[in-house]
A and B are shown apart, each in its own frame.
Chain A
C-alpha cells in the first residue's frame, strides 16, 4: 500500500500520576501523492504525530506504515524526508554540502533509486548562487529552502514537514509557501505538513486534518477542492474564503470544547 497509514495510534508521556495523553487513538491515511496538512491548537499532538511517522518517537499503541513498510524499514530504505521546524543546517558545511548530506549517509538505502543532482535542485529552489555559501550567510527564508531541498534530494516517497515556515515573517512565509507549492506541483510527493496557519494549510493541501487537544485527537477532516495547479490568485477566490471560514470555525469549536 502506497502512502502513509496511521491506525489507532496512541501516545502518552509522563508517569502514572501525571500522565498526559498526547495522541488518543488517531487513525488517518495519506494517499500516494497527496498533500495533507495537520492543524490544531498547541498541545494537540500534531508534532508528536509527525514524529511518530518519522520514527523519532515510538507510539504506545497502534500501527504506522509508510508505503506498506514499518517505519523502521522505511527509514532504512530512506523513504522518508524530514523538514524540521528550524532549518537545522550544519554551520560548518556549505549549502551544497548540507544538501548533499542525505546522499552520503546510509548509502545502503541509496540502492535502486535515482538521486537528484543537488546543484540542479538548489538552482530550482533559487539557491543556484548560494551553493558555496555557508548557512550563516543566508537569510532565514533561504536557509529553510535549503532544508527543504535537503529533504527532496534523495527522492523520498514521503515528506514530513513540521511547521517549516513558522520562524519566518509573514511576507517571507508567503513567498516560501508559494515556492514550495510550485515545486511540489511538479514533483508530487506524499506530504504531511504540520502548520498553525489556516491560509497556508488551504493553499497547499488536498485535505486538512483538524486536531483537538487534551487528549490529542482528530476532530475533523476538511477536503480542499480548489483546482490545481494553484498560485497566489487562489487567495482572492470565494472558494478560498469559504474554506477559510469553515476551517476557522472548526478550530474555534475545537478550542471551546477544550474548556468545557
Chain B
C-alpha cells in the first residue's frame, strides 16, 4: 500500500484530533484498485471534454475551410516556424511581466497607503474608479499616441488592467485582520509597523493571491489589446494575430491565439504552485477564530 503512504506524507498538516475538525476525514487505507479508479476519475472527464471539443473543431474546420483552420494546419504552422513564434511570444511575455509587475506593485503599495491612512482612500479612490470604468480598449489608442509605438504604451496598458483588482483585493486583505489578534497587539503597544509586519502583511496574502489569480490572465488581455492598436510596429503575439487575420492567414492567427492561451495557463499554473508554498496555512479549514 505504498501509494496510500505517499498520500499521507503529502498531508503534513492533517488537522487533529479528528473529532474537532468535521471537515477532514481521517486518512483511510484505500485498496489499490479503488485508488486507480479515483485517479482515473480525476483526469478522465476533462480529457474527454477536450477530446470532444477538438473533434468538433476538426469537423467544423474541414467543412468551413475559410472560417477556421484544421488543428493539423495550426500545428503545422507552429512546427514550421518555431523561432518566429518564440520571438513574438517573448515580446508579449516581456510586456506581461514588466507591465503586470509594475501594476501589482503599485496596486499593493497604494492599498497599504489606503489601509493605513483612511483619508487617502477617500481622496484617491473616486479618481481610480473613474479611470477603471473607462474601457482599456479605448485608452490604448490614446496611450499609443502619447507614448509612441514602443513598449511603453504596452507596459502602461498591462499595468492599468492589473492595478485595480490588485488594489481592491489587497485593501480587503489588509482590512481583514483578526480583531482579537489586533487587540493583543494593541495591549502590547505594538507600533503600526509591527502590526503591519506581523499581522496585516502575512494576513492579507490569501486576498493578494486571489487578486493575482484575476490579474494575471487580465495582464495578457492588456498586452494583447495594446499590441492590436499598434499592430505591425512591434512584435508580439497580439500583433501577430491582427496581421495574420488581416491577411486571412488562419493557421497563423489561430496558432498565435493558442500560444496566448497557453501563456495564460502557464502563468496561472505557476501562480498556483507559488500559492501552495506560501499559503499552505490558509488552505482547508481556517483556524477557529
Contacts and interface: CB of A to CB of B under 8 A. Distances in A.
B183 A105 contact: no
Contacts, number: 95
Interface stretch (A1-9, A73-81, A111-119, A200-208): A73-81
Kindly name the residue among A80, A84, A87, A102 whose own CB sees the greatest number of chain B CB atoms within 10 A.
Answer: A84
Contact of A56 (B178, B187, B198, B289): B187
Given A101-B198, A136-B281, A137-B16, A88 B289 contact: yes
Nearest to B284: A136
A90 B200 CA distance: 11
Interface residues of A, number: 37
Interface in B188-233: 188-191, 194, 198-199, 202-203
A101 B182 CA distance: 12
A258 to B, nearest CB: 28
A89 interface: yes
B180 interface: yes
A89 B198 CA distance: 12
Kindly name the residue among B180, B198, B282 whose own CB sees the greatest number of chain A CB atoms within 10 A.
Answer: B180
A12 interface: no
A110 to B, nearest CB: 10
B15 A143 contact: no
Interface string B168-189: 0000000000101101111111
Interface residues of B, number: 31
B13 A137 contact: yes
A55 interface: yes
B189 A75 contact: yes
Contact of A78 (B13, B188, B199, B284): B188
B8 to A, nearest CB: 15
A106 B288 contact: no
Nearest to A147: B184
Nearest to B184: A82
Interface in A57-87: 75-76, 78, 80-82, 84-87
B13 A109 contact: no
Given A105-B198, A106-B188, A54 B287 contact: no
B134 interface: no
Nearest to B286: A91
Contacts of A101: 198
A135 B287 contact: yes
Contact of B183 (A84, A90, A134, A136): A84
A209 B20 CA distance: 34
A139 interface: yes
A78 B190 CA distance: 10
A88 B189 contact: no
B180 A106 contact: no
Contact of B13 (A134, A139, A143): A134
A129 to B, nearest CB: 13
Contacts of A136: 13, 15, 281, 284-287
A140 interface: yes
B45 interface: no
B17 interface: yes
A106 B194 contact: yes
B183 A56 contact: yes
Given A82-B184, A137-B15, A140-B20, A89 B191 contact: no
A145 interface: no
* 5 shortest interchain CB distances as A-B pairs: A88-B180, A84-B180, A105-B190, A88-B181, A75-B189
25 contacts: A54-B183, A75-B188, A81-B187, A82-B187, A84-B181, A84-B184, A86-B180, A90-B202, A90-B203, A91-B286, A91-B287, A102-B184, A104-B194, A105-B190, A105-B191, A134-B13, A134-B281, A136-B284, A137-B14, A137-B15, A139-B16, A139-B20, A140-B20, A143-B287, A143-B288
Interface of A: 51, 54-56, 75-76, 78, 80-82, 84-92, 101-102, 104-106, 109, 134-137, 139-140, 143, 150-151, 154, 160, 167
Given A92-B281, A106-B188, 13 more contacts: A55-B186, A56-B183, A56-B187, A80-B187, A81-B187, A88-B180, A90-B203, A91-B282, A101-B198, A109-B189, A136-B15, A136-B285, A137-B14
